[in-house]
Amino acid sequence: MNFIQKSIFITVMLLMIVSCGNDKKEVSGPPTVKKVDPEMTIKEGKGIGEIKHVELNDPLDPEMVKRGKSIYELKCAACHKLSGARVVGPSWAGITTRRKPEWILNMITNVDMMLEKDPSAQKLLEECLTRMPNQNVSIGDARDLLEFMYQNDADNAGK
């Protein structure tokens, strides 16, 4: 009896496997992540980090600008001024004309790696003599800061 039960069980299992396994459906797997050479992103002026491309808003999003201003006042204003004056860190005046948006976001969100490997960030460190602290700014908050930077540069254009 035991042999018959085992035989039936094995037969049923084989039928289930065969009947379920013959459909050739194309299933898309998880999205592939393109490996990006850090040296190439440095050469392109985008810095080192998660940010490889930034879609800019035209016109600027006023809500993002408002949130960015709040984040600036909380986490950035002690070291960075909006005008041409340098305090501890470099001024934000004209930053969006000097740097690519990807570089700015990578510097905000990946400051330690940027200061370690990015030549432009290293040059700023030599000039300012103070290492920018990691403020644990999320990518979303960094994007709001970038929007605020663009607004600041637009407000101060020609001054």
Per-residue pLDDT reduced to its tens digit, 3-58: 777 777 777 666 666 666 544 444 333 333 444 555 665 667 899 999 999 999 99
**Is residue 117 one of the residues assigned to a domain?**
yes
Give me the domain span that covers residue 124: 38-49+60-155
| pLDDT value of position 19 | 62
Is the distance from CB of 97 to CB of 103 less than 8 angstroms?
A: no
**Is residue 1 one of the residues assigned to a domain?**
no
**Is residue 3 one of the residues assigned to a domain?**
no
**Is residue 151 one of the residues assigned to a domain?**
yes
| pLDDT value of position 131 | 94
Per-residue pLDDT reduced to its tens digit, 60-72: 999 999 999 999 9
pTM of the model: 0.73
**Is residue 2 one of the residues assigned to a domain?**
no
CATH of the domain at 110: 1.10.760.10
Residue 8's identity, in one-letter code, is I
Please tell me the total count of domains within the chain. 1
Per-residue pLDDT reduced to its tens digit, 116-141: 999 999 999 999 999 999 999 999 99
| pLDDT value of position 18 | 60
| pLDDT value of position 139 | 96
| pLDDT value of position 27 | 38
Task: Kindly tell me if the per-residue pLDDT of 142 is higher than 80.
Answer: yes
**Is residue 81 one of the residues assigned to a domain?**
yes
**Is residue 100 one of the residues assigned to a domain?**
yes
Angle in degrees, 0-180, between the axes of helices 101-109 and 139-155, rounded to the nearest 10 = 130
| pLDDT value of position 75 | 97
**Is residue 88 one of the residues assigned to a domain?**
yes
